[in-house]
């Protein structure tokens, strides 16, 4: 026996160092942790759901009782208001007495009725408990109850106990017209007992009604009411009374002990406009019985789950080691460069799939190695093509730059040889025009380099668009007139949100292109507002752009062929800069064109509220 135990301990010490043992322990531990966490979470959710169900039940029962009590009081008030509906002067004393007796018979809870004239003096008293009295003349006009009833239509007094036993409340109903009288009714609240005892909350739950001071108004045990029991010392009753001033009708479960010492869960609500509180209670054991049953079931499931986890952990660990060793050997061979080696694992489990992935990786590496030289050659060819494109651009740019430079040198030589002032002025204008062309080309090249380097960051602000449009008019009116074109720029009073400089560059390039490629007719800038956006459109009557080229016009160095077009051609960067700036500003850019009918470019800018003027100081 000792030898067997020693062998078992030695085998266990060897087992814990093996991978299979570690995997088995890990699987069992994870499974146990998952089962425990899931069970605890399920229990927590169950308790929360059960408590929510109990709270909803309490809420429903309490609100039902509150509505019935409110209906009871409203029914009393409607009968009392019928009693004083006629004006006081239109009824005789006998009519009022007959109506009062009729009302008293119709309302069993009412023990005494007192009719007051419009001046607040008692003129008639009818009672179940004593003789009828007429013309007492008691002045109640200065009491708070009378004043409140006259102003608000109704006053409900505090609970009191007549002859030391039964609970009563005084309801004072005032007329809506100065010609109507008032009625004061003493109401026995013992009849509310039927409403409260009718509530069913579980098997042993119950409900009761208390006033603002915590005295029982109604309770299934009527003897507690007749003894004027004060339950305000109970914690859950005190919590309900402290909630009373807020007028909240939401049921919140409160744990505590009832008058009999039972552990209970309680909730409360407040009937409308009465100041009384309906309190419900349910024994804690009954409320949580489903939870206790679930705990027992969970313990059974946990034990079964742990046993299954132990068995599965051992089996999985044993079956896991062999394919792992095969994968390890294959990975070492592939990693050492033997890309022809393939890993063979039988079955269709995850290890077999992993072996297939290794095989696919080796095959992919072989293909990559075979095509690497081809990719290098293709990349070299792409770089050569890119260098050729740059070379063509530099050649084109140098040619376009050389023309104004050559013109500058000719103008300077001619300026030196011209004696007349008029001739010199004209040459000065030509010099200025050539310099402007050079500046425009350099600006385009500089903007393009900044865009490609990502060095442009928009600076958004709110500004009036009108000054920017005025600048456009001043910049291009001479160029348009020189070509015989009519330049029309609409005014706009809108304030927009954009980068002032970038938006101005966009419009400058669009108007410059329109003038450059239009030989006759009109170039216009129009502004329209819609849906919080200002659409700025640049239109021309030029040759238009063929549909096949419209997808390429915003490309870098693109210049559309324009047979017969007069004037200078640009570097093919203007619309590229326009599209790049519009994308940086997040301003939608659109274009419509038809050959022979001109082109229309438009950009939409957000409209913002007008900014107030700054103080002069």
Residue 581, domain CATH? 3.30.565.10
Identify whether 254 is part of a domain. Answer: yes
pLDDT in the model for residue 556 = 64
Residue 233: its pLDDT value, please?
85
Is 556 part of any domain? Answer: yes
Which CATH number fits the domain that encloses residue 369?
A: 1.10.287.130
- First-to-last C-alpha distance (Å) of the chain: 106
Residue 387 belongs to a domain: yes
The percentage of the chain sitting over the pLDDT mark of 70, rounded to a whole number, equals 76
**Segment among 223-237, 320-334, 556-570, 571-585 with least mean pLDDT:** 556-570
Check: CB of residue 251 under 8 Å from CB of residue 59: yes
For residue 37, what are its two tokens? Answer: 């966490």
CA–CA distance, 133 with 219 (Å, rounded to integer) = 35
Distance (Å, rounded) from C-alpha 135 to C-alpha 142?
A: 18
Mean pLDDT of 459-465: 90
Same domain for 30 and 114, yes or no, is yes
The answer for 201, left when phi > 0, alpha when psi is -120 to 50, beta otherwise, is beta
How far apart (Å, rounded) are the C-alpha atoms in residues 304 and 295? 14
Residue 57 has pLDDT above 80, yes or no: no
Number of Cβ atoms within 10 Å of the Cβ of 418: 14
Whether the predicted pLDDT of 10 surpasses 80: no
Residue 330 near residue 355 (C-beta atoms within 8 A): yes
Specify the pLDDT at position 9. 43
Q: How confident is the model at residue 572 (pLDDT cuts 50, 70, 90)?
A: low
pLDDT value of residue 433 = 60
- Cα separation, 276 vs 443, in Å, equals 83
Domain end (from 310, 338, 366)? 338
480 neighbors 487 (Cβ within 8 angstroms): yes
- Residues 371-414 have pLDDT tens digits of 876 777 888 887 777 566 565 655 555 556 556 666 666 666 66
Write down the mean pLDDT value for the chain. Answer: 77
Q: Which residue has the higher pLDDT, 502 or 616?
A: 502
Question: Which residue's structure tokens are 């003493």?
Answer: 186
**Do residues 407 and 475 both lie within one domain?**
no
Among the three residues 434, 455, 476, which one is the final residue of a domain in this structure? 455
419 compared with 119, residue with greater pLDDT: 119
Ramachandran sector of residue 214 (left: φ over 0; alpha: ψ -120 to 50; beta: rest): left
Residues 352 and 463 in one domain: no
Joined tokens for residue 449:
């380099």
Same domain, 52 and 177: yes
Highest mean pLDDT among 364-368, 565-569, 581-585, 613-617: 581-585
The answer to whether 480 and 445 are in contact (CB under 8 A) is no
Average pLDDT (286-291) is: 78
| Distances from the Cα of 250 to the Cα of 49, 55, 56, 234, 269, angstroms | 17, 9, 9, 20, 7
Higher-confidence position of 232 and 272: 232
Choice between 526 and 219, residue whose per-residue pLDDT is larger: 526
Domain assignment present for residue 2? The answer is no
Per-residue pLDDT tens over the stretch 244-273 = 544 445 556 788 888 878 888 887 776 555
Look up the domain containing 593 and give its range: 457-608
Give the integer Cα–Cα distance in Å for 252 and 289.
Answer: 20
**CATH classification at residue 235:** 3.30.450.20
Same domain, 294 and 167: yes
Per-residue pLDDT of 406-445, as tens digits, reads 666 666 666 656 656 666 666 666 666 666 666 666 666 6
Q: State residue 496's pLDDT score.
A: 92
Residue 331 lies in a domain: yes
Q: What integer is the mean pLDDT of 119-141? A: 85
Lowest mean pLDDT among 14-18, 367-371, 402-406: 14-18
At 560, the pLDDT band (50, 70, 90 cuts) reads: low
pLDDT digits (tens, 9 = 90+) for 143-201: 888 888 888 888 888 777 776 667 788 889 988 788 888 899 998 877 777 777 777 77
- Tens digit of pLDDT for each residue in 520-551? 889 999 999 988 899 999 999 888 888 777 76
> Structure tokens of 361?
């990786």
Look at the chain and report how many structural domains it folds into: 3
> Do 94 and 220 sit in the same domain of this protein?
yes
- Are 197 and 217 part of one and the same domain? yes
Q: How far apart are CA 177 and CA 446, in angstroms?
A: 88
CA distances from 375 to 364, 366, 368, 370 (A): 15, 14, 9, 10
Residue 216 in this model has a pLDDT that exceeds 80: yes
- The residue ranking higher by pLDDT, 390 or 66, is 66
Q: Are residues 112 and 236 in the same domain?
A: yes
Residue 4 falls inside a structural domain = no
- Quick one: 376 and 486 in the same domain? no
| pLDDT, tens only, 31-42 | 788 878 887 887
Give yes or no for a contact between 137 and 116, defined as CB atoms under 8 angstroms apart: no
Reading the block at residue 103, the tokens are 């009302």
When pLDDT is averaged across residues 268-288 and rounded to a whole number, the result is 75
Domain boundary among 296, 323, 338: 338
Partners of 144 in the beta sheet?
A: none
Shared-domain flag, residues 495 and 374: no
Q: Is residue 38 part of a domain?
A: yes
As a whole number of angstroms, the distance between CA 117 and CA 137 comes to 9
Burial class (CB in 10 A: 0-12, 13-18, 19+), 175: buried
In a domain, 616, yes or no: no
Same domain assignment for residues 352 and 328: no
199/136 same-domain check: yes
Structure tokens belonging to residue 316:
């999985």
- Alpha carbons 38 and 309: distance in angstroms, whole number: 15
pLDDT tens-digit map of 600-611: 999 999 999 887
pLDDT category of residue 12 using cuts at 50, 70 and 90: very low
CA atoms of 617 and 614, how far apart (whole Å)? 8
Position 359 pLDDT exceeds 90: no
Q: Which residues pair with 174 in a beta bridge?
A: 182
Q: Among residues 190, 134, 132, 136, which one has the least CA distance to residue 161?
A: 190
Q: What is the percent of the chain where pLDDT is above 90? A: 6
Judge contact between 45 and 290, C-beta under 8 A.
no
Backbone angles phi, psi at 273, to 5 degrees: 60, 15
d(CA 412, CA 404): 12
Please, where are the H alpha helices in 517-555?
none
Q: Is the pLDDT of residue 16 over 50?
A: no
What's the pLDDT score for residue 528? 92
């Amino acid at each position: 026996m000792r030898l067997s135990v020693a062998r078992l301990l030695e085998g266990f010490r060897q087992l814990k160092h093996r991978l299979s043992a570690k995997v088995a322990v890990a699987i069992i531990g994870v499974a146990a942790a998952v089962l425990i966490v899931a069970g605890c979470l399920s229990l927590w959710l169950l308790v929360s759901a059960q408590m929510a169900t109990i709270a909803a039940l309490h809420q429903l029962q309490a609100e039902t009782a509150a509505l019935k009590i409110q209906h009871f009081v409203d029914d009393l008030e409607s009968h009392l208001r019928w009693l004083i509906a006629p004006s006081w002067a239109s009824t005789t004393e006998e009519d009022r007495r007959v109506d009062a007796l009729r009302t008293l018979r119709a309302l069993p809870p009412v023990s005494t009725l007192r009719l007051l004239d419009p001046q607040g003096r008692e003129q008639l008293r009818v009672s179940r408990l004593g003789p009828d009295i007429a013309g007492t003349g008691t002045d109640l006009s200065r009491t708070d109850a009378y004043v409140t009833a006259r102003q608000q239509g109704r006053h409900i007094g505090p609970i009191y106990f007549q002859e030391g036993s039964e609970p009563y409340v005084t309801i004072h109903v005032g007329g809506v017209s100065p010609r109507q009288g008032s009625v004061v009714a003493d109401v026995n609240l013992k009849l509310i007992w039927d409403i409260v005892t009718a509530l069913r909350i579980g098997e042993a739950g119950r409900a009761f009604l208390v006033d603002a001071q915590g005295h029982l108004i109604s309770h299934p045990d009527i003897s507690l009411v007749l003894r004027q029991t004060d339950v305000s010392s109970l914690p859950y009753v005190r919590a309900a009374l402290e909630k009373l001033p807020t007028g909240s009708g939401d049921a919140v479960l409160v744990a505590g002990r009832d008058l009999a010492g039972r552990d209970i869960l309680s909730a409360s609500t407040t009937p409308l406009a009465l100041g009384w509180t309906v309190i419900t209670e349910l024994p804690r054991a009954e409320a949580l019985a489903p939870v206790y049953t679930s705990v027992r079931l969970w313990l059974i499931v946990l034990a079964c789950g742990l046993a299954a986890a132990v068995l599965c952990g051992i089996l999985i660990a044993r079956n896991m080691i062999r394919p792992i060793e095969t994968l390890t050997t294959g990975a070492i061979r592939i990693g050492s460069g033997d890309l022809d080696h393939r890993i063979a694992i039988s079955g269709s489990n995850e290890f077999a799939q992993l072996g297939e992935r290794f095989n696919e990786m080796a095959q992919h590496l072989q293909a990559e190695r075979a095509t690497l030289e081809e990719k290098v050659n293709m990349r070299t060819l792409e770089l050569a093509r890119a260098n050729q494109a740059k070379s063509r651009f530099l050649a084109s740019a140098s040619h376009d730059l050389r023309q104004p430079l050559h013109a500058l040198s000719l103008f300077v030589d001619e300026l030196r040889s011209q004696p007349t002032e008029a001739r010199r002025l004209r040459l000065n204008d030509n010099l200025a025009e050539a310099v402007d062309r050079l500046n425009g080309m350099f600006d385009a090249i500089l903007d393009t380099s900044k865009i490609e380097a990502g060095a442009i960051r928009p600076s958004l602000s709110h500004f009036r668009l009108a000054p920017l449009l005025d600048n456009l008019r001043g910049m291009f009116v001479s160029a348009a007139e020189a070509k015989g074109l009519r330049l029309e720029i609409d005014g706009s009073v809108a304030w927009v949100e954009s980068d002032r400089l970038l938006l101005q560059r966009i419009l400058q390039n669009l108007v410059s292109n329109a003038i450059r490629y239009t030989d006759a007719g009109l170039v216009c800038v129009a502004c329209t507002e819609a849906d919080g956006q200002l659409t700025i459109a640049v239109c021309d009557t030029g040759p238009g752009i063929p549909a096949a080229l419209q997808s390429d016009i915003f490309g870098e160095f693109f210049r559309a062929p324009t047979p017969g077009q007069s004037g200078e051609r640009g570097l093919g960067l203007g619309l590229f800069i326009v599209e790049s700036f519009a994308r940086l500003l997040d301003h939608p850019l659109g274009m419509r064109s038809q050959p022979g009918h001109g082109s229309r470019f438009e950009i939409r800018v957000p409209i913002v509220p007008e900014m107030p003027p700054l103080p002069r100081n």
